[in-house]
Structure 1
Amino acid sequence: MIHPTAVISGQVEIDPSAHIGPWCVLEGEIRIGPRTRLMNGVSLQGKVTIGADNHFGAHAVIGGEPHDQAYGGEATEVVIGDRNHVFEFVTIHRGTTRRHGRTVLGDDNFIMAYVHLAHDVEVGHHCRITSYTGIAGLCTIDDHAVIAGMVGMQQYVRIGAYSFVSAMSAVAQDVLPYSIAYGSEGLAHLRGANLIGLKRHGFTREDIDIARHLLERFQGTDKSLAQVIADAEADFDPAHPVVRRVLDFARAPSVHGITR
């Protein structure tokens, strides 16, 4: 169903089972998949591709021009997967040529009201981002991460899988997989393993214990990151999936370093 008050340009392709609510504005090379719902006042701009069974709350703005002074109108885009719930007043800007030219939201994510995803942000699957959080450009959020409310995240930060960032944290460095980043009284620091989150996701007791002891090696130490990684490789089984994911993340290129 397309409400008669919606304004839709000639380039837009909408699956017949999609719902476009009152006063929506769709301008650009836009593709909307089956059963996706746009509530009243949603704005889609530029090149935006949206999959199936998504829900967009009132006045969300998707595909807006990036807040990047170097952006010169290049042909960039927003790509959104399936079964996402994007609440009221969320803003997701399209990408720039600084990375791959696209901002990406994967599948089964829960993006609460007033969240901002800036240009070139890449969010994986099954993530939850809570209201009033601002994710700056070129950040990456891996699968099953949870970002609590009013978090501010610096450009180029990486958030590891199954991690938790506590409310009102200022995140200026990468957050290791399976960990908690806590920073309501200053810059975020590592506060150990995300024990509750790992239990909820069905990790075994052995896996949780490995994650807890491994992350302790990174926490509050004066050792260099290279030395921490070398020690962990010697003391833990590098082939274990939990160990491998943490160490691969820690070894990967980083603009700001690792939260410790």
Structure 2
Amino acid sequence: MGTRIHPTAVVDPGADLGQDVQIGPMCVIDADVVVGDRTKIDAQARIHAHTRLGTDNHVHSFAFIGGDPQHVKYKGEPTLLEIGDRNLIREYVTLHRGTVGGEGVTRLGSDCLLMAYAHVAHDCVVEDKVIMANAATLGGHVHVGTKAVLGGLCAVHQFARVGAYAFIGGKAGISLDIPPYMIATGTPAKLYGPNVIGLKRQGFTSEAVAGIEKAYKIIWRSGKKRQDAIEEVRQTCPDSSEVAFLLEFLQGTTRGVSADNQLAVNGQDIPLY
């Protein structure tokens, strides 16, 4: 088919376009932009300098890709935005480059779906197969794990982490880390247990899901101190790679981990509202 650039598009000669790229009407693409093979950029999308797009991406109209970070200390440094392959980036999505105060790069993995008005701020890392629903927003330096789902209008505080396979409800306010596999919603967000249905749909075995549920109950529902509960989980689930991944996430937290929506008192669960 060959690369096709609409006559009204403005593409700097310093942009590196791959094979079979499609550039729609009135797009603007700066120098020092790499657009991978078979990527499609719809009408009036904006791709800023220092952006790297992989193959087979689809950028919809009015998306704003690779803009300057929204940070008061940013002074025009040539930081990067790196985007993987086969991503679907819908209307009015904003993805900003990194800052020198971070690692200097914002990263979006492959096979992600960013719905309209989603925002990925400076220095974020969004791993593969993540779904961000409409107007989901990431503050700076947020890390989102593989196959996490972020509901519409949710907001994640800077430096917070959302673990792999987590499911965040719409309009949630995430100020602390959300562990892998968990459902969370509310403002501030509370945990509502493992995403059992979602995990099974993703091919997790019954044994793996049972191990995650057991770990969750010990850590969040036993009423024990967090570190004591983690040690108990290590002893009772020594062969579960999924549980080991969960514990590694908990041990790596710097902001703290969101609380459960229940409070264990004298062995009984009391809802928190």
- TM-score (normalised: structure 1): 0.95
Moved more, 215-224 or 25-34: 215-224
Answer yes or no: is the 8 Å Cα contact 1:90–1:113 preserved in 2: yes
In structure 2, C-alpha distance between the alignment counterparts of 1:64 and 1:78, rounded to whole Å: 9
In structure 2, C-alpha distance between the alignment counterparts of 1:217 and 1:69, rounded to whole Å: 43
The superposition leaves residues 24-53 of structure 1 with CA deviations (integer Å, 9 ceiling, x where unpaired) of 001131000110000011101120000100
Which residue among 20, 25, 28 is the counterpart of 1:25? 28
Name the counterpart of 2:170: 167
Cα 1:220–1:74 change in 2 (3 A) is farther
The structure with more radius of gyration:
2
Name the counterpart of 2:75: 72
Name the counterpart of 1:39: 42
Name the counterpart of 2:242: 242
How many percent of aligned residue pairs carry the same amino acid?
34
In structure 2, C-alpha distance between the alignment counterparts of 1:224 and 1:41, rounded to whole Å: 54
Answer yes or no: is the 8 Å Cα contact 1:191–1:219 preserved in 2: no
- Displacement of 1:196 in angstroms is 1.3
1:213-224 residue pairs with structure 2 within 5 A?
213-219=214-220, 223-224=224-225
Answer yes or no: is the 8 Å Cα contact 2:211–2:240 preserved in 1: no
Answer yes or no: is the 8 Å Cα contact 1:192–1:219 preserved in 2: no
- Displacement of 1:222 in angstroms is 5.1
Answer yes or no: is the 8 Å Cα contact 1:190–1:219 preserved in 2: no
Answer yes or no: is the 8 Å Cα contact 2:26–2:44 preserved in 1: yes
Tell me the amino acid that sits aligned with residue 197 of structure 1. G
* Corresponding residue SS for 1:17: coil
Name the counterpart of 2:230: 229
- Displacement of 1:225 in angstroms is 2.8
1:256 aligns with 2:255: yes
In structure 2, C-alpha distance between the alignment counterparts of 1:16 and 1:197, rounded to whole Å: 37
1:103-142 residue pairs with structure 2 within 5 A?
103-142=106-145
Q: Aligned-pair RMSD on alpha carbons? A: 1.2
- Displacement of 1:180 in angstroms is 0.7
- Displacement of 1:220 in angstroms is 5.5
Unmatched tracts of structure 1, length 5 or more: none
1:57 aligns with 2:60: yes
- Displacement of 1:59 in angstroms is 0.4
1:145 aligns with 2:148: yes
The superposition leaves residues 101-151 of structure 1 with CA deviations (integer Å, 9 ceiling, x where unpaired) of 111110100110000000011100011110011110000001010111110
Moved more, 239-248 or 118-127: 239-248
Name the counterpart of 1:188: 189
- After superposing on structure 2, the runs of 4+ consecutive aligned residues of structure 1 that deviate more than 3 Å are 220-224
Answer yes or no: is the 8 Å Cα contact 2:37–2:55 preserved in 1: yes
Count of aligned pairs between the two proteins: 256
Unmatched tracts of structure 2, length 5 or more: 260-273
- Displacement of 1:223 in angstroms is 3.9
In structure 2, C-alpha distance between the alignment counterparts of 1:116 and 1:135, rounded to whole Å: 6
